[in-house]
Amino acid sequence: MERREKLYEGKAKIIYATADPDKNILYFKDDATAFNGAKKGTILDKGIINNRVSARLFQMLAEHGIESHFIEQLSDREMLARKVAIIPVEVVIRNYVAGSLAKRMGRKEGEKLPQAIVEYYYKDDALNDPMINRDHVLVFNLATAAQIDTVREVALKVNQALSEYLLARDILLVDFKLEFGTYHGRILLADEICPDTCRLWDCHTLEKLDKDRFRQELGKVEEAYLEICRRVCGEI
């Protein structure tokens, strides 16, 4: 399957059409941004790693009965995916206190939550992705009640499967962000699942192995992405 016209360029990926109207090609870039684009940089080979890690995790989730847009990895930086209509709600699932939750609630990072927290954010760069709740989703027609209830249920299933898979590889799934899309009346998991979109800590040392190394300028950014790739995908 070959790339046709460029449909959309985001901060980390470019979406291309293909000859099949139901399929897109996702091209993973090395560009990195944080704080809604206020901080910009590149992480060497990030695109290759995020493509590979996402592919592996979507395959693993499929084995757990969780449908996604993923079809196959085409090359180092290209993934063939079902062409979904993205629901403009970013879903964040949290298992431990970190990031904006630590700030909002005045808590220290690393506290284990008694149960997972699911949060919704309105996917709108111009508004800086504000946090919303289920009522906002319904009143502003971002998704139907049935759709958002499915999204929440699938997100919690992903959390279960992903937490277990990663812990078996000595990685703590602290929190992560998911996106969903509609595809011929179905809800599919979409976008990517990688160190850009998850907080991943070494389960013994609690060392950060994700994009927080870039956001917080902790150094060893490329090394952390490579380490996650090694642990998730095996030898590279």
Residues forming the site for ligand TMP (CB under 6 A) = 92, 98-101, 175-177, 197-199
Dist. CA 195–CA 166, nearest whole Å: 12
Residue with the CB atom nearest ligand TMP in the bound state:
99
- Tell me how long the chain is: 236
The Cα-based distances of 49 to 46, 66, 75, 141, 149 in angstroms read 5, 22, 12, 35, 32
User: Which one, 27 or 176, has the nearer CB to ligand TMP?
Assistant: 176
User: Which one, 183 or 214, has the nearer CB to ligand TMP?
Assistant: 214
Nearest distance, CB of residue 189 and ligand TMP, angstroms: 14
User: Which one, 18 or 68, has the nearer CB to ligand TMP?
Assistant: 68
User: Which one, 32 or 188, has the nearer CB to ligand TMP?
Assistant: 32
Nearest distance, CB of residue 92 and ligand TMP, angstroms: 5
Dist. CA 148–CA 118, nearest whole Å: 12
Q: Hey, what are 219's tokens?
A: 């150094």
Nearest distance, CB of residue 4 and ligand TMP, angstroms: 28
Nearest distance, CB of residue 197 and ligand TMP, angstroms: 4
DSSP 109: T
Dist. CA 147–CA 98, nearest whole Å: 28
